[in-house]
Structure 1
Amino acid sequence: MFDLPTIWAFILALAIFIYVILDGFDLGIGILFPLLEKDSDRDLAMNSVAPVWDGNETWLVLGGGGLMAAFPLAYAVVLPALYMPFILMLLALVFRGVAFEFRWRDKAHEKIWDRSFFWGSLMATFCQGIVLGAFVQGIEVTGREYSGGWWDWLTPFSIMCGFALTAGYSLLGASWLVMKTEGELREKAYFCTRWAGVFTLAFVAIVSVWTPFLSPEIAERWFTFPHLMFVLPVPTMTAIIAALLAWGIIAKRDYVPFPSAIGLFSLCFVGLGIGMFPYIVPRAITVHDAAAPDVSLSFMLVGAVILVPLILSYTAYSYWVFRGKIDPEAGYH
């Protein structure tokens, strides 16, 4: 009665998107750390994410574990193709987490942990961008196996995507600080939001122009009927949200830039989905070809129907409890 592979593809896409948004802004704060010269500003920036940051990575676990369980063939192909950036990303996330905790307890080496927090955030973000770029440009598959080389993921397009995601996460982090802080830090966050927004929109334009040249199939999906009717609203809405972001920054409406940044990411995600579906490994393996047996997908779906709303509920509740501007006198411990 149900197209289980498509349902699971949607669940995994949702998990990845939520991860990108939620972990994106705290990674963005780490990327912006060198621009926060005062120790008090760095403390305040970290306090703004301290109640929620480690829960954000729940969605990364769901995405990775769900891919292995629901689409084992795709997992077996994608992982060997992207071992290096995945390993570097995970190591960077671990190192960033250690730095986050240690800087509060080991004040004698606080500067070392600050640098670690920055480099861990930057490396994790850049590797995620490289993974995205390598995935979009395509993975070489022969039969049911990865048949490319160890360094196939390292291309000008994937490196550009690394820089693009770094700019995007910086926008999320800066606009989060705009929403959560006051005074001098808020003003600096507005400055960072302005420039991160400019670079993010520039990279969105570059990726949009470059991507169709990666494959004739992508070009056909984006520029021929009836697909064009689904694609056209995306750049239109992107222009509208970009204008909203600019207005929020210029008018200093604290609660406008962050939702606008989320809107930009949402539209990029939609555009990516239009260019890829029904493939789970672009132009090589479809969601139906890679899916586990229906009996397995049905069994796991029961758990997902219970757990995903539960995770969404406690995540929403935690953000609601810690809503509003952060108290400068509050501390993590």
Structure 2
Amino acid sequence: MAVSTTPVRTQLSTLLTLTHTEIQIAQTRVVQARTEAVATELRENAENGKLRAVAIEKVLRELGGIPEITRPLVGRGVALGKTVLEQAQPLDEALLGDLALEQQLLGRAKYVKALGTAHDLPSVVDLADTLIDAHTATVDWLTTVLAEEAIGGPAALRRTPTQWASGVLATAVTLPGSVIARGADRVIDSVSRVPQRIGGLRSSAKETTENLRSAAKETTETVAVTLTAGRDAALEAAEEAARETGATGIAETIHSARVATGTITADDLPIDGYDDLTVGSAVSAIKELDKPSDIRLVVDYEEAHKDRQGVVSAAQTQLASIAKEIAGTN
């Protein structure tokens, strides 16, 4: 018996360590929850993880194994190390790490079920089925949260200040190449248009000079308009320009600045008369939105002003529905 069940006990011991890691991560994620509903879900996941750990220990003892006292400490230590390291990562990378852990737990649970079936161990098979259901649900949830993040949020989890900064840094690192590429495109386009603008290669030097002066004047006027515009208009224009040129990361950073400085107004929202809506009316209106950018705008405005949890939660739920469809986790 002891020899034949060694592979099962080995896998259960590993699952126990990983489960304690999962518990610790769920507990640390609570502070990142965007809404109380998400925080409650994370707390429940941590508590359910503890129940799964107890169940794994029970089966281990039935098989003659003795759960190691140090394993919970190892699992929590791994989670603590992960939490510290991921502060230097953008949120999506941290979530991908969480997803990898859950996928490993799911894969090992399926393997344990196969081992339990091969060794005719009903208690192991039952335990494995429970673990498979739990980790499948968590994999789907994390996949959905990543999809929410990909389409611009609001995701169920907020970035920590360090993760927000690292996300901006990642954008900054890739920015020079993007700027150079777009700049090169503009130069090539400008050069290709020179013959048209100056009336052909045989145009006179005077005509060439006049064209250059005209271009310089137009550029000066554009800069003057931008500099004399108000801060709010400048930020709005900058965000729009960034989106038009495909610099989504920069656009999001500018958007965050607009939110922080209170430059988003009710007139920017896709819902008419938003400031006069009750929670119920706002929730109903949000359920009619199908563009992630519109939902994000409402959440940003709501959190910066009334910050009604019922409204924010409804917006996050609506976005989650869209994300689930995209990720195929419905």
TM-score normalised over the length of structure 2: 0.31
Report 1 or 2 for greater relative contact order, CA contacts < 8 Å, sequence distance ≥ 6.
1
